[in-house]
Chain A
Amino acid sequence: MPTYQIKVNGESKTVDVSEDTPVLWVLRDHLELVGTKYGCGIGQCGACTIHVEGTAMRSCSLTLAQIDGKSITTIEGLSEDGTHPVQEAWKEVDVPQCGYCQAGQIMTASAFLESNPNPTEDDVKNAMHGNICRCASYTRIRKAVMIASENMDQ
């Protein structure tokens, strides 16, 4: 099997996997970064969302070739100590129920707010529409993203 160099959360890692292994499973099974979740495997639910050069992408549908030379960020690397404004807002609002989808929600929201620091509520709804929360914590997700946008703005 070929070896790949990937840059995750600021560190360079070498992995030895087949070329078609989705980045999701490289993170989970080979790099012990299990915060990125498997939900559907076809880019429909958003549980596996990571940042590739700051852009939110579905890691279940990304190959290693597609992230070659790019730096990626997972929930574990979003902040050093869980104090990213989006994480703080998630705690303030107490968003999760089961919690399984929330890493993906946080990664989608944090990338969105980087490029849209002053969103309207409709902007937030559009941005978060691709992430399923089976427990339907949608009203709190909405609220937390709005709070995070205010805090990031300051």
Chain B
Amino acid sequence: MSTNKTLTFSRRAFMRTSSLAGGGMLIGFNLFQACKPKAAPPIDLAELNYNDFNAFIEIADNGAVTIFSPNPEIGQGVKTSMPMIIAEELDVAWKDVYVKQGILDTKNYTRQVAGGSQSIRHGWDALRQTGATAKQMLVNAAAARWGVDASELTVSEGVITNAAGETLGYGDVVKEAALLEVPEDVTLKSPKEYKIIGKDASNVDIDEIATGKPLFGLDYKAEGMVYAAVVRPPAFGKKLVSYDDTKARAMSGVIDIFKIGEKVRGLLAEDPSFGSKISSSDKVVVVANSTWQAFKAKEAIQAVWEEDTTIESTEEHDKKLIELLDGNKFETPRSDGNVEKAFAEADEILERTYESPFLPHNCMEPMNFYADVTSEKVHLVGPIQTPEWKAGLVAKMLGREESDIYLEMTRMGGGFGRRLYGDFVLEAAEISNHIKKPVKVVSTREDDMQTGVYRPAIKYRIKAGVKDGKLTAYHLKEAAINDNMYGLIPNFFPAGAIENYQVDIAKYNSSITTGAWRAPYTNFLAYAEQSFFDELAEVMEVDKIQLRLDLLDKVKPEEDERIQYSPERMKDVIKMAVEKSGWGTKPKNVYQGFVNYYCHNTHVAEVADVEIENGAPVVKKITCVVDCGIVVNPLGALNQIEGGVIDGVGHSMFGELAFEDGKPMANNFDRYRLIRMKEAPVVETFLMENEYSPTGLGEPTLPPAGGAVANALKAATGNRLYKQPFTKTPELLKMPQKEIIG
């Protein structure tokens, strides 16, 4: 059990306390630094000031605790779960804790950082240490007051008790505590002592959400603010030549119409790697007194576009990606043994190709951002997953000091990866810089879907060799648009389980902007591999579950540090999924599909139940077993798990954005199908109970869902699906004629 492992960072480097002018204690900590265990503290401790911290706990004289979180909240629930971890070790009652988004403290948050590393997994140690250190300082202050040793005191829910039964509240000693040295050694609770972690806690914003309070970027308003809509290229590979705004200028409420683009091109010239994420074309901006006036005038702009780079289509992409798979221009991020030799010696070979389309993120809140560029500062407000990165880019783009940038994050109406890129932040800043007014740039749904930073189309080819009834070779090839799988993905299962194993990757450079989409790469790879295993078991004539368990028996992570998944934990989730889903014991009209998968450090197994209704297969239920270690907030965890599963079912069934002449073929929800209520299966979730340090839940239940559905559909229809979305080949979703009874 790894919960209380040794920490490799110094607490003093990321924490400091002080008295508040108005009474009470402020504890500042730099979560970002603490999240990177191997990173050295950037500056000498003596030089730290509060601008170097990005998260705070405030304990008032009356004992009230406010926890400020710097973390972007995109619906993954960290605004609730991360403060819970602090509150646990601080030893206060959760109901007494007030959580605030850090943006409300304009004085202390001028150099705010937040990023992907601030997940539960990375924050676990730092958040516990912070809470425990603050508690120890309060206890030390009480011990000094009473003239006793701190070890004689006990704490419960913010009340310190001595051996004589006398009590002091945190508020009583907070002034003295703030003056003490930050202790170096504090004891963390054992999981058995937890009172907050592991208990259901509602979303901290639930009341505001249920009553429609302004929370999101699109809800933000400032004095004198105007609205901007942007005319962007109608197709990828095109750029602006000229435009006629005569009609638009005559429309009511229109303030100005002008062109932007030069400043973003300046950034792209400095760092061409942004090229696959941000369009370099000029755009036409309409500024108006209201959103609707801006939208309407935008429609009235007559723009002329010309071909800039290659105009691409899905048909062309399909050919290019297959050429890459057929070719030999690969990089090889992992190679064990000799797959070619093993294939030559194999008794049987199975080779299959799996194909996926582009996907837009389709956050419910369309992209938007507020900017007010003045000679004193650059004020930015809105939904962004990477505030620090974007603040730096805006400073560079406008030739400003980074200290001029003041960025506030709002709650986000979904992220799914789209709000990592922040092209809309650059747009807002460039527009405000031009018109010298506070402005909110708002995308229409059509803009959002047609000028996205998409999940790129990817194809996988998997080849396996079987000799003497055993799987001896496994070769995975990836052909993708713009970027390839990264990090440890090539070392996920079945890496380590097969003697001869190789992963090859190749890419096709496209002018279509692409990026991360919830569970990048694995969101499609899990389906490809787990469908392949299903078919492989049929070819080998072995039990589908046993094939997986036998392979896991061969994995030795202790001999290969690249293997981060645990074969033991994987086997446990598999066994529980078999039991809980009633695998193999269902009535004849229930067809099941099995998947086990590891990504984002979490082990998952899912079983899909498909039933036939009116001659067509319907996904009725997904049984989902998850091992994410300690579950911080079960109520939030189950929401993430269910959402991930249904999102995975939905996109594998329906999700597709095709291109013709560089233009996306859907631009709104009438032509782009997202899963809706009636298609959403029941999700039955089981969490493994253990004391491993917690891992994330925003992504890992999505990838397996598509594979579970594909395998269940095979069981139901006899047809194996090699292309997503599954509804693309409706003929394969029908029952064979002879099996339709009555």
**A interface residues (Cβ-Cβ under 8 A, vs B):** 1, 17-18, 20-22, 25, 28-30, 32-42, 44-45, 47, 74-76, 78-79, 82, 87, 90-91, 94, 96-103, 106, 125-126, 128-142
Contacts and interface: CB of A to CB of B under 8 A. Distances in A.
A98 B677 contact: no
Contacts of A74: 212
Contact of B639 (A76, A134, A140): A140
B717 interface: no
A44 B210 contact: no
15 contacts: A17-B290, A29-B227, A33-B212, A34-B214, A35-B214, A40-B445, A42-B669, A44-B668, A44-B669, A87-B210, A99-B215, A132-B674, A135-B75, A138-B676, A138-B677
B80 to A, nearest CB: 9
Nearest to B642: A139
A139 B219 contact: no
B541 interface: no
Contact of B674 (A28, A35, A134): A134
A25 B290 contact: yes
B292 A22 contact: yes
Contacts of B668: 40-42, 44
User: Considering residues B212, B362, B445, B668, which has the most beta carbons from chain A within 10 angstroms of its beta carbon?
Assistant: B212
A87 B211 CA distance: 8
B412 interface: yes
Contacts of B94: none
A91 B413 contact: no
B160 to A, nearest CB: 33
Contacts of B683: 139
Contacts, number: 183
Given A34-B214, A96-B209, A40 B669 contact: yes
B210 A82 contact: yes
Contacts of B213: 35
Contacts of B414: 98, 100, 134-135
Nearest to A36: B212
Nearest to B639: A97
Contacts of A134: 362-364, 414, 416, 647, 674
Contacts of B415: 98
User: Considering residues B200, B413, B677, which has the most beta carbons from chain A within 10 angstroms of its beta carbon?
Assistant: B677
Interface residues of B, number: 65
Interface in B649-703: 650, 668-670, 674-678, 680, 682-683
Contact of B219 (A1, A34, A101, A140): A34
B62 interface: no
Contacts of B644: 136
B383 to A, nearest CB: 10
Interface in B597-647: 635-636, 639-640, 642-647
A135 B212 contact: no
Given A44-B669, A45-B669, A135-B75, A98 B212 contact: no
Given A21-B292, A100-B365, A34 B639 contact: no
B639 A37 contact: no
Given A47-B364, A98-B74, A100-B364, A138 B646 contact: yes
Given A1-B252, A29-B290, A138-B677, A91 B206 contact: yes
A25 B643 CA distance: 30
A94 B206 contact: yes
Contact of B209 (A17, A47, A99): A99
Interface in B401-460: 411-416, 444-445
Nearest to A130: B676
B366 interface: yes
Given A94-B635, A96-B206, A35 B77 contact: no
B364 A91 contact: no
B523 interface: no
Interface of A, helix, strand, loop or mixed by DSSP: loop
B75 A142 contact: no
B76 interface: yes
B280 interface: no
B205 interface: yes
A99 B212 contact: no
Contacts of B292: 17-18, 21-22, 25, 29
A40 B362 CA distance: 10
Nearest to B207: A82
A98 B636 CA distance: 12
Contact of A94 (B202, B215, B295, B364): B202
Contacts of B722: none
A44 B635 contact: no
Given A100-B216, A103-B209, 17 more contacts: A17-B292, A20-B296, A33-B212, A38-B291, A39-B366, A40-B669, A45-B364, A90-B206, A91-B202, A98-B363, A98-B414, A125-B677, A134-B363, A135-B414, A136-B646, A138-B677, A140-B642
A99 B365 CA distance: 10
A68 to B, nearest CB: 18
B30 interface: no
Contacts of A132: 364, 669, 674, 676
Given A99-B203, A99-B411, A138 B680 contact: yes
Given A35-B212, A42-B670, A140-B642, A99 B205 contact: yes
A137 B210 CA distance: 14
A35 B207 CA distance: 12
A136 B683 CA distance: 11
B218 interface: yes
Given A44-B668, A82-B210, A96 B203 contact: yes
A135 B651 CA distance: 12
Nearest to B296: A20
Contacts of B296: 20
B293 interface: yes
